Amino acid sequence: MSRTTTIIGLDSFPIVKEGDNIAKLILAALNKENVTLDEGDIVVVAHKVVSKSEGRTVDLKDIKPSKRAQEIAKVTLKDPRLVEIVLRETRRTVKATTEIFIVENKQGHVCINAAVDKSNVEGADKYLLLPEDPDRSARQIRSEIIKLTRKKVAVLISDTYSRPFRTGQVEFTVGIAGMNPFKDYRGKKDLFNYELKVKNTAVADEITSAAELVMGQGDEGTPVAIVKNLQVQTQEEASAKDLLISRNEDLFKDAL
């Protein structure tokens, strides 16, 4: 028999303001679009709406760049105030050259501009940060949905990533609640009884990438998707940090 997984983009999700309750907005959109939430569904939320609800917007006008930000701005040809915003979200500077500023951000993700983002933020000088603790945000949304519906769902918070070696971007998981981010085959047998040694599928990243296929970017404005009928392993104490690898453990260290 064929297994069928369904991914539903909630097109009626509204524009989010600070203080909005994301879980309630999701349930309202589900209701409006006649989509039923089932036990085991996975709710994927673009970090932007979570960050907006948490008031994680910053205005360049309010930023006074430090001396270090001014120096990096000279090298990267970026607005020193933007560099200052990025530095405040940064744990370690990775690369600063002409028009490129890559850091390890406070959540541990190595990414461009510490994931500080301009698109779909109202106001010419306004930028959006990641949620302060995206796992906590995911847990809050999940608890609220479970409280209101009695359906045990999982929640993933996604963000857009440029990737080494490859063109274009995909969505990865930055916050997680209620599911194991991996499907680990190591130690299991393949079709011919050979023991798998490496295979540990990052299902959470695959789900956020899958969700983007119905979410869209630009002015499409569909920041929430529901993934149905997909078997994942329930895990109460999950963290998107498990998806990160330390530099020393990274097989690709010095390969780039």
Residues 152-191 within binding reach of a second copy (CB under 8 A): 160, 162-172, 181-182, 185, 188-191
Binding to a second copy in span 5-44, by CB under 8 A? 5-12, 15, 33, 35
Nearer to a second copy, 60 or 94 (CB): 94
Q: Is 112 in the site for a second copy (CB under 8 A)?
A: yes
The tokens of 72 are what? 């990096």
Binding to a second copy in span 216-245, by CB under 8 A? 217-219, 221-222, 230, 242-245
- Cβ(185)–Cβ(197) under 8 Å? no
Nearer to a second copy, 28 or 185 (CB): 185
Distance of CA 139 to the CA centre of its chain: 14
Q: Is 138 in the site for a second copy (CB under 8 A)?
A: no
Distances in whole angstroms, Cα of residue 215 to Cα of each of 32, 79, 189, 227: 17, 30, 36, 12
The tokens of 7 are what? 């991914």
**What is the nearest approach in angstroms of a second copy to the Cβ of residue 238?**
13
Q: Which of 192, 236, 237, 248 binds a second copy (CB under 8 A)?
A: 192
End-to-end CA distance of the chain: 43
Burial of 75 (0-12, 13-18, 19+ CB in 10 A): middle
Nearer to a second copy, 54 or 127 (CB): 127
Q: Is 144 in the site for a second copy (CB under 8 A)?
A: no
Q: Is 248 in the site for a second copy (CB under 8 A)?
A: no
| Cα(217)–Cα(223) distance, integer angstroms | 8
Segment contacting a second copy (CB under 8 A): 50-58, 70-78, 121-129, 133-141? 121-129
Segment contacting a second copy (CB under 8 A): 56-64, 73-81, 148-156, 212-220? 212-220
Nearer to a second copy, 38 or 190 (CB): 190
The H or E element spanning position 228 is strand 224-228
> What is the per-residue binding string for a second copy in 60-99, x denoting contact by CB under 8 A?
----------------------------------xx----
C-alpha dihedral sign at 205, 210, 214, 218: positive
| Cα(140)–Cα(134) distance, integer angstroms | 10
Q: Which of 128, 174, 179, 210 binds a second copy (CB under 8 A)?
A: 210
Nearer to a second copy, 140 or 178 (CB): 178
Nearer to a second copy, 75 or 143 (CB): 75
Q: Which residues of 124-161 are buried (b: 16+ CB within 10 A; e: fewer)?
A: eeebbbbbeebbebbbbbbebbbeebeeebbbbbbbbb
Nearer to a second copy, 150 or 194 (CB): 194
